[in-house]
Structure 1
């Protein structure tokens, strides 16, 4: 793969830059409760040297009833300062699943106006498989100011997505598994309707990944989107269950050079619970 410090970097790239004074590595591991994994405990036991833990559920909008919605810029700035992440830093985000939640934090940084942020391809599993070291030491942190410049065009709410669904001028692409998209598999949250946003296309996030959880090439990614009936000439809104894996689609689109994408932060956690918006089932 070709390394791009604004989207995706390899384990070899990170190993070569790990001691750069302006590099910050973040562990953004997050797991569904049924997996029985504790991301913070795993981080404390073993992480990439110098990494700081980014708690997706904590660094979120506490005023919202929806899970881990994007935090207000002031909260993001304050938490990043406390983690020693600030202006002028190159950020690399990884997770313990290979590639699941790291892209969500990549998107959060982009949302806050920071472009020098990349996801580690293959995450911690590939880092370790490639023979690179881990440690259990807490990082030494020095405060660093971070300026947030909120990028409204990178996030969409239920009203904007509803309008896009009705007009068809913007393509909605859903990252959930096909069974949930079609309404055939049960939803993990009680009271949630099965199905998808009318007019949406389905690109399950794992179809963009290789067996080792690294990302497919931009050309392979383009073929996956096109095979799913996605019109790449249109602006795209990515969606999923709760705004985590939708960011993998956003990352893939960005790597392909598609620059008219945004993420539906509420995703199915909001749409599936709202009686005010319609639901479709079956194929798109």
Structure 2
């Protein structure tokens, strides 16, 4: 580090030139003291400046390192952004494909709904036709269901037959005549008459078991439809299922009563089925 010593040299030069007065010497001493003090201050300021310069260099280096790090981060962020944009572009393609698939699925679901609505309309047409002439009392002994275009009419044995017999009762004639009218309205339909019993064994002369009883009851209905109401026998089939097609448990009287039934199954051929679809009423829009 440099020091400032010029005032001392100047004083020595003056002293070599000759003696001076005490007053002059005191003045020179005072000036020298001031110069020494100024020199000390300048040296202190120099040291402080050099320290500040060293600190500034350190801060500059630190800032340069931060700048390099930030540039590296910026490059990484740009790369991530580019990757995200590329992925987003691919994602848009996938989303568009997914939307197309969803729309296609919704269209198919709507077709199924429309088909079901039309099928429900067909079932409503058939049910209304079959029950339009039945009284409330008759409906208590008649159960009508339409499933997939096939009509199931279930008649209780109390309404159809004499007690413990396969002979048609007098009161059944009115109901059978109304059902025969519906059967005649759809001449191309096949008609299966199916007898069913509970699980209580039959004890009657000439009736061996419930198979016999169910088949005889179905045969009685077939013959009544043919003989009394003019239904073409070529369309009719009589069958017995005995106790082996129950719709309720046989451990209660109510269940046994439900199982003792004769079912009339009216099945349209394909061309009649398609005609009915065309006649089905339009569904009201929500």
Common fold by TM > 0.5: no
TM-score band, normalised by the shorter chain? under 0.3
Structure-2-length-normalised TM-score: 0.21
Structure-1-length-normalised TM-score: 0.21
Instruction: Flag the structure with more relative contact order, 1 or 2, with Cα contacts below 8 A and sequence separation at least 6.
Output: 1
Larger helix fraction of residues: 2
